């Protein structure tokens, strides 16, 4: 299996984990707040952290395909992390940005379930 296929499997596996963690987040809407909500949010956070590592490893594996004979026939003197005469497309750059933004999700999952305190009164405008 080439590096492009490996990268696709890793990135799609990470996306699948993110989808499952999103479903867990939706389930917490229907649960009463408390320990169960905290456990599910913690589980979702761990799943999101694993998805980030899986997707990041998929993005790191992708450029190894630039060293293959097929790519060298099209791009000239290409190598690992050097595209030669070809250009890396916007899709790869946006995937990197997406994974960087996804790094924040586990922190949101950790701090999202707060104890519900009595509502504070609205400040009056003088």
The upper half-sphere exposure of residue 8, i.e. CA atoms within 13 Å in the direction of its Cβ, equals: 6
Domain that holds residue 40: 3-111
Residue at 26 is within a domain: yes
The tally of domains found in the chain comes to: 1
Residue at 117 is within a domain: no
User: How far from the centroid of its chain's Cα atoms is residue 77's Cα?
Assistant: 32
Kindly tell me the burial class for residue 15, based on how many C-beta atoms sit within 10 Å of its own C-beta (0-12, 13-18, 19 or more).
Answer: middle
What is the DSSP-derived secondary structure letter of residue 30? T
Q: State pLDDT tens for residues 19-53.
A: 998 888 788 777 776 666 677 777 888 888 899 99
Whole-angstrom distance, CA of residue 49 vs CA of residue 47: 5
Give the predicted TM-score (pTM) of the model: 0.74
Residue at 118 is within a domain: no
pLDDT band per the 50, 70, 90 thresholds, residue 124? low
- Average pLDDT (104-117) is 65
Helices (H), the chain: 3-29, 35-61, 69-75, 90-102, 105-111
Residue at 125 is within a domain: no
Q: State pLDDT tens for residues 63-103.
A: 888 888 888 888 888 888 788 888 888 888 898 998 988 88
Whole-angstrom distance, CA of residue 11 vs CA of residue 112: 26
Residue at 123 is within a domain: no
Q: Which residue has the higher pLDDT, 20 or 112?
A: 20
User: How far from the centroid of its chain's Cα atoms is residue 117's Cα?
Assistant: 32
Residue at 119 is within a domain: no
Residue at 121 is within a domain: no
Q: What confidence score (pLDDT) does residue 65 get? A: 83
Residue at 95 is within a domain: yes
């Amino acid at each position: 299996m080439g590096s492009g296929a490996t990268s696709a499997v890793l990135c799609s596996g990470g996306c699948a984990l993110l989808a499952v963690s999103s479903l867990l987040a939706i389930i917490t809407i229907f649960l009463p707040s408390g320990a169960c909500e905290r456990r599910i949010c913690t589980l979702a956070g761990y799943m999101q952290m694993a998805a980030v590592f899986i997707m990041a490893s998929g993005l790191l594996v992708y450029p190894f395909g630039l060293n293959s004979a097929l790519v060298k026939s099209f791009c000239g003197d290409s190598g690992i992390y050097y595209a030669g005469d070809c250009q890396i497309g916007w899709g790869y750059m946006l995937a990197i940005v997406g994974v960087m933004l996804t790094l924040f999700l586990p922190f949101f999952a950790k701090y999202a379930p707060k104890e519900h305190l009595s509502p504070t009164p609205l400040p009056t405008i003088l």
